[in-house]
Amino acid sequence: ASPGLEAWTLRVYVTFEKAIADAIAHRFVDLAPADPRPRIVGALTMSAVRICLDAWLESGGEGDVPIMLQRALGTVKVL
């Protein structure tokens, strides 16, 4: 509920998005400068994490977060 904490959390998510993008960029054989695909994959991944954690917290900690995350990420297909 704290604006400062929410801003900090968003910054952490963006940091992870960029790290994921850097880690997977080499998988795109036709990657050009400023190609948004690695960053989009990073953002999708962190969105799945955020949604799963939100659902887990709303349920009072019920469920298996790794399984929830695996299911969420399974809905994403990279072309």
78: confidence class by pLDDT, cuts 50, 70, 90: low
**Percent of the residues in the chain that have a pLDDT greater than 90, as a whole number:** 82
CB neighbour burial string for 16-39, b if at least 16 within 10 angstroms, e if fewer: ebeebbeebeeeeeeeeeeeebbb
67: confidence class by pLDDT, cuts 50, 70, 90: very high
* Residues contacting residue 17 through CB under 8 Å, at least 6 positions apart: 39, 42, 43, 45, 46
- Mean pLDDT taken over the chain: 92
Q: What is the DSSP string of 30-69?
A: T--TT--HHHHHHHHHHHHHHHHHHHHHHTTS-S-HHHHH
pLDDT (tens digit per residue) in 16-44: 999 999 999 999 999 999 999 999 999 99
